[in-house]
Amino acid sequence: MRKVSYLAVGLALGALCSCAVGPDFRKPAAPAVSAYLPEPVPEQTVAVDGPVGSAQHFLAGQDLQQNWWQEFQSPQLDALVAEALKANPDVSAAQASLREALEAAAAQRGNYWPQVQAGFAASRQHNAVGVLSPTLGSGEALFNLYTPQVTVSFVPDLFGGNRRQVESLLASADAARYELDATYLTLINNVIAATVQMAGLQEQLRQTERIVALDAEALAVLRHSLSLGAVAEADVATQETALAQAEATVPPLRHQIEVQRHQLAMLTGHLPADAPVLKFELSDLQLPTRIPLGVPSRLVERRPDVQAAEAQLHAATAQVGVAVANMLPQLTITAGDGSVATLMSDLFRSGTGFWSAGASLTQTLFTGGSLLHKKRGAEAALDAAGAAYRSTVLQAFQNVADALHALSTDATVLEASARAAHAAENSYNIARRQLELGSVNYLYMVLAEQNYLQAQIALVVAQTNRLADTAALFQALGGGPVPARQR
């Protein structure tokens, strides 16, 4: 039996060194590109006085730091990100998918080696000695039969079909690992986006409630003037309309704030009713001023979605080899060793042993074309994976280009919004002084203050967009390396 086992193991080791049919995977070349945009990226954006108004400097050739979200300098945001990475169920699902893929590859590796099975059979038999020749040397008709045996079977990987299958599963495990990284990256950006939006909406709500209060004051003044006959009833109706319209904008803002609060609860693994109450102010977040852009041609190495698409392309390439190997001859080697006796005490004694060894070679001759069509299907899947990879690369560069344009536009919009808010504030201050001097009426001053608050709301929106688009650029660039403790 030992000789048979050694022979099977030797064949297994020899099979590991044999050829593997099908195409070998070649890593796609990185795009030969030196820029993200047709025009040169400016060294910095315009600077604006006030919150979120600092100039952002674009640093070519430098990569993001590991914990890139800390660039917003908010301990509360850092704590939310840490909680999300720990408790979000999407992360747990992606981690489990990675473990599943690794176990599938490990299980497939087991086919490199012989399969050994041990068995024991026991039976009580009665032989028809009057009809058949005696089964036992003693001639007894009634007897027990005990048969322990070990069976070894092995299918040598002559053409590398198993190795291609292992290669495909390992590539799928790589894809699962990169998808986990993409889950981390998306989760972090979603936490930042929800935080920024909630802070911006809360500031908009405060300004809007102030406008409602001013409209209510103006309506009270007009109604008093109407009672004195100083204004027309149409003026009062117009102001009533303005107040109702302003009041109608408050509930949607409160709803949007709660939506963002619920979003943060979900992202951090909480039910909405159990989530802690979070209050963020725009002033709690600092605008990152140093934006590392990396090397454009290496974007495909930084983006986990591109790396996942590359791994899926690798897996599809290996599957073509699996389909080709299935069309070729299959060799099976079997061996067995055991003992048979009528008494347990006689097992393994001299003369009770038996063994067998054999091999079979089979070649499929006709399956209705199924093997050929499976091969063609694998080749089509390879073409699809190649196209999906190219599409992912194009989308990655589009994301970066869009985000860069957004940051440039945000800075310009913020600068214009700041000028408008400053002008509206000056107009409001002038109206207040004129009211004190008696040169204008109260309604004129209220209108000037409303315009100022509306300009402040537009400024808040511009500040919110700039923070959110900065996080979007970090995500588009692939983020920084995921901390080892999160893998």
Lookup result for tokens 């001013």: 214
CB-based contacts of 249, cutoff 8 Å, min separation 6: 208
- The predicted structure's pLDDT at residue 200: 95
- The predicted structure's pLDDT at residue 345: 86
pLDDT class of 482 with cuts at 50, 70, 90: low
Q: What is the DSSP string of 121-153?
A: EEEEEE--TTTS--SSTT--SEEEEEEEEEEEE
Q: If phi over 0 gives left and psi between -120 and 50 gives alpha, with beta otherwise, what is residue 165?
A: alpha
276-304 burial, b if ≥16 CB within 10 A, otherwise e?
Answer: eebebebeebebbeebbbbebeebbebbb
CB-based contacts of 464, cutoff 8 Å, min separation 6: 196, 197, 199, 200, 282
Classify residue 111 as exposed, middle or buried by CB count within 10 Å of its CB (0-12, 13-18, 19+): middle
Q: Is the per-residue pLDDT at 1 higher than 50?
A: no
Per-residue model confidence as pLDDT tens digits over 181-206: 999 999 999 999 999 999 999 999 99
Per-residue model confidence as pLDDT tens digits over 253-301: 999 999 999 999 999 999 999 888 888 888 889 999 999 999 999 999 9
Q: Is the per-residue pLDDT at 158 higher than 70?
A: yes
Two tokens at 204?
Answer: 């908009």
Q: Is the per-residue pLDDT at 239 higher than 90?
A: no
Two tokens at 139?
Answer: 């001639």
Per-residue model confidence as pLDDT tens digits over 110-133: 999 999 999 999 998 888 776 666
Per-residue model confidence as pLDDT tens digits over 195-238: 999 999 999 999 999 999 988 988 898 898 888 888 788 888 98
Per-residue model confidence as pLDDT tens digits over 296-343: 999 999 999 999 999 999 999 999 999 999 999 999 999 999 999 888
Parallel, antiparallel or unpaired: strands 142-154 and 115-126: antiparallel
44 and 293 in contact (C-beta within 8 Å)?
Answer: no
How far apart are the C-alpha atoms of 264 and 88, rounded to whole Å?
A: 10
- The predicted structure's pLDDT at residue 36: 93
* CA 154 to each of CA 64, 168, 321: distance values in angstroms, whole numbers, following the listed order: 51, 22, 21
Per-residue model confidence as pLDDT tens digits over 72-109: 999 999 999 999 999 999 999 999 999 999 999 999 99
Over pLDDT 70: what percentage of the chain?
93
pTM across the whole model: 0.87
Q: CATH says 53-113+158-329+373-486 is which class? A: mainly alpha
How far apart are the C-alpha atoms of 218 and 210, rounded to whole Å?
A: 12
Q: Is the per-residue pLDDT at 383 higher than 60?
A: yes
- The predicted structure's pLDDT at residue 8: 46
How far apart are the C-alpha atoms of 419 and 459, rounded to whole Å?
A: 9
Mean pLDDT score of the chain: 89
Q: What long-range pairs does 127-135 form, CB within 8 A, spacing at least 24?
A: none
Average pLDDT value for residue range 31-44: 90
Q: Is the per-residue pLDDT at 3 higher than 60?
A: no
Per-residue model confidence as pLDDT tens digits over 416-439: 999 999 999 999 889 888 876 778
Classify residue 273 as exposed, middle or buried by CB count within 10 Å of its CB (0-12, 13-18, 19+): exposed
Strands of the sheet containing 330-339, edge to edge, are: 115-126, 142-154, 330-339, 353-362
- The predicted structure's pLDDT at residue 132: 65
- The predicted structure's pLDDT at residue 192: 96
Classify residue 197 as exposed, middle or buried by CB count within 10 Å of its CB (0-12, 13-18, 19+): buried
Can you tell me whether residue 66 is helix, strand or coil?
A: coil
How far apart are the C-alpha atoms of 98 and 482, rounded to whole Å?
A: 15
Compute how many other C-beta atoms are within 10 angstroms of the C-beta atom of residue 467.
25
- The predicted structure's pLDDT at residue 115: 93
Higher pLDDT, 370 or 480: 370
Q: Is the per-residue pLDDT at 11 higher than 70?
A: no
Most confident among 11-25, 138-152, 239-253, 341-355 (mean pLDDT): 239-253
Torsion of CA 339, 343, 346, 347, to 10 degrees: 30
